[in-house]
Amino acid sequence: MNTEFLNLLENNIYFGYFIINKTNGGIVKYSGNLNKIFKIEERHITNLKEIIWIGDIERFEHYIQNLTKEQTNLVQFEMYLQEGNYRVFTINAQYITESPNHVLILLNQDYNLFQNEINTLTERSNFLKEFTSLFNGIYFSLVEKYKINKIYGNLVEITGYTEHELLNDICFFDKIVANEDKEIFHYFHNPSEFGQSSKSIEYRIINKDHKQLWVNEEFRISKQDNNSFIIQGIITNIDRRHAAENELKKSREQLQTLANHLEMVREEERKEIAREIHDEIGHSLTALKLDINLLLKKRFLREDALEKKLNEMMHSIEQTIKTLQRISSQLRPSILDHFGLVAAIEWQAKEFQKQTGLRCKYLIPEDDIELDEHKSIAIFRIFQEALTNIARHAKASRVDVSLEVINNILELKVSDNGIGIKKEVLDDPNALGLLGMKERIHLIGGSISISSVLNIGTTILINVPIH
């Protein structure tokens, strides 16, 4: 970090700085002007968290710990001045290259004052050069034509245009703002809104390489002596943040859809189980009740007739027991609890072959694999889902299953010779069966890959660390 730059901040009316330890927030160094504001020495403050409002500490820790070398976002935190007196400060944090465990925090003492008076600092080029390098672009633009007349920072790097192109195109912002956002851009940059507080807007720009980027603009409109209007503002590249937010939103929507799907599946399973209990077990028990009632009424049946009736009743009881075992296995196979995952995989493969008529060849270890209960259940359920998908959609005649442990990693492979899965289906976020498998494997720290060739078949490969 340039020492001259830090010296310029010592008694600056706009900015001060803290250098802190990234790990624990301990203050390594600070500018003298901040000592006056926070009375750091008088209050014996050694950690920046001591002067951040308690409600903002967790957000501050997250901001610092997730700081990247490219991050230049402006963030606001409420900070403690004295007893009962708090104030919101705008900060910008950046790595210090020569001291990786230290972070420079540039603290804005009066952001609006800086916006109004920054022209008086133009002669302090060293300060501006150092300061603006922390941001993704500071520009000054004439409102009438959105013509840039001054540039600081790396707006050139954001847009891909040269400084000459930026300064000489009178409609530059009309050219680079994405068509979808032109209306909102013009609305917020309306000259009639001048004199109000600083505003913030997010919109998309198209750089010289025709790549779309999201940017945030903090700006203020002011009127000049010649009745023209000036926009003073800071542009920050927020494309990565915006992409992360969209990914998070997409994930939440997928999880919500998956949760609704799983609830529907549960209801269908409950409905099916209720039907089987009512139709099969209920019918059998009712028949047994009628048979017993008949025996009570006809106490003096011939021995051969009595024996025949009792044998019929015994057969009915055996069938009822088998039905109960089948329903119980559908809910949770006892073999998984009693004999482990390997035996459960073998049992399910045999059951699948018996129920569907598809040839199911399996290659599994002779001994069981020691796994915790959560992993065993998840892998077994994924295996069941894979077989269900094959039965419903694959139109296959053969299924191959292999289970082995390689370098302490459990590997389960399920392949079929069916019609395959189209790429758009594999990539479809609404393919809830596949999404459910991915979510299950994610929860146990494993990975899943699905490869498919049309009219050749599909292979599902699962890898899960044993410990």
H helices of 10-71, in order, are: 32-38, 54-65
- Cβ within 8 Å of residue 171, ≥6 positions away: 145, 146, 147
- Cβ within 8 Å of residue 395, ≥6 positions away: 418, 419
CATH architecture of 135-237: 2-Layer Sandwich (3.30)
Q: What is the pLDDT of residue 112?
A: 42
Q: What is the pLDDT of residue 429?
A: 66
- Cβ within 8 Å of residue 342, ≥6 positions away: 364, 365, 367, 368, 369, 403
Q: What is the pLDDT of residue 396?
A: 93
Q: What is the pLDDT of residue 323?
A: 80
Q: What is the pLDDT of residue 403?
A: 94
Give the span between the Cα atoms of 413 and 443, in whole angstroms: 19
CB atoms within 10 A of CB 83: 5
Which residue ranges of the chain lie beneath pLDDT 50? 111-140, 142-143
CB atoms within 10 A of CB 217: 22
Q: What is the pLDDT of residue 70?
A: 57
Give the three-state DSSP class for 136: coil
The percent helix, strand, coil of the chain (3-state, each to 5) is 50, 25, 25
pLDDT digit string (tens) for 374-430?
Answer: 899 889 989 988 998 899 889 999 999 999 999 999 999 999 999 998 888 877 766
Q: What is the pLDDT of residue 249?
A: 78
Give the three-state DSSP class for 98: coil
Which pair of tokens denotes residue 250?
Answer: 């997409």
Q: What is the pLDDT of residue 130?
A: 43
Which option is the CATH number for 333-467: 2.40.30.170, 3.30.565.10, 3.60.15.10, 2.40.30.10? Answer: 3.30.565.10
CATH class, range 3-117: alpha beta
Closest CA to 380 of 343, 425, 435: 343
Give the span between the Cα atoms of 376 and 369, in whole angstroms: 9
